[in-house]
Amino acid sequence: MSRNNFDLLRLLFAATVCLVHAHELSGFNELGWFSGWLSAAVAVKAFFVVSGFLIFMSHERSKSLAAYASKRVRRIYPAYFTVVSLSAIGLVAISTASVGEYFSLSWVRYLVANLTFLNFLQPTLPGVFEANRLAAVNGALWTLKIEVMFYLLVPFYGVLFRKFSLLPVLLLTYAASVAYGGLFSLAAERTGDAIYAELGRQLPGQLCYFMAGAFLYYYQALFERRLGCFLLAALAVLAIDLLYALPLLEPFALAVVVVFFGLFAYVGNFSKYGDFSYGVYIIHFPVIQLLVDAGCFRDRPWPFFGVFVAITAVGAMALWHLVEKRFLLRGSHYVAADTAAR
């Protein structure tokens, strides 16, 4: 596992989400190519696959539950706290509300809800982005609550694996997750109520991707021995799924392809200068919203896009060097890679 492409994959997945959101939030038809050829939904699912593979590995390699929890908190929360807090405090500068109206109970609800990963309870700030296509300050953060809930479940699953055997627990959880997603998808179709589709994409519905990643971690030796069979079957399933939905098989097929590219065809050490994928993911949404709100690129999609990419890239690098890296343990491979690069 010392040589892998997971850092690169996470950066590519984060970039995919950014590009799709650049089109959806700006409304520029010229950027429609991104939404036409790329899928933010698939990128998010692929993120969950990588998490399933790597977080179970982290848990297995941790000396204690406290050590596992410390690694997870250090990796995800300092940057998250920084972005949420800076948004809550700094966006008063562009709010149409007065200072008194801005720092109101709604502001407190936003801060508390978002700092506790309950973004859906208060996604907006007073007088901020109200003229934009979407008023949410950082709509990309919805996946983080799922990620955190999964982190909390991993030790519980560790106990279940030891008590009831690994494979039955993995398969049962995977099947239950697919069934949950399918039921809510069916409810959304029959009622036309979008709330069912929203509920379907929450943790129980996404757990199949985590568990598919976990399966490939625990059965990595089998995966490597039968690599060709796994890959060909996965590609066939994904091809058929484009024409005829295969909800029971699609999560595992996607996981096979993602982990294949994560473990093989090594293309270089992308943690050498840091892991910017998390920063890109949690920064890009408010950056787009600010540029749209400013209106200075109203008829200039490509300058808008260039400035968006530049600000997001610089912001992600700053977040890594000023916040994220400083909270990592010395044993982190990012810290080791950064030291070796000097």
Contacts of 95 (CB under 8 A, 6+ apart): 102, 125, 126, 127, 128
Cα-Cα end-to-end distance for the chain: 23
pLDDT of residue 330: 64
pLDDT of residue 341: 44
- State the angle between helix axes of 65-90 and 301-319 in degrees (0 to 180), rounded to the nearest 10: 140
Extract the tokens encoding 205: 């519905």
pLDDT of residue 340: 45
pLDDT of residue 333: 55
pLDDT of residue 1: 53
pLDDT of residue 331: 60
Q: What is the mean pLDDT of each run of 10 residues along the chain (342 residues)?
A: 84 96 95 93 96 96 94 95 97 96 96 95 96 95 94 95 93 95 88 82 90 97 96 97 94 97 83 88 97 91 96 96 87 52 44
pLDDT of residue 342: 45
Extract the tokens encoding 188: 């959304």
Extract the tokens encoding 112: 């508390």
pLDDT of residue 225: 95
Residue 150 burial class via C-beta count within 10 angstroms: exposed 0-12, middle 13-18, buried 19 and up: buried
pLDDT of residue 339: 45
Contacts 24+ apart (CB under 8 A), 166-175: 166/218, 170/211, 170/214, 170/215, 170/218, 173/207, 173/208, 173/211, 174/207, 174/208, 174/211, 174/212, 174/215, 174/251, 174/252, 175/248
**Cα four-point dihedral sign 56, 202, 43, 88:** negative
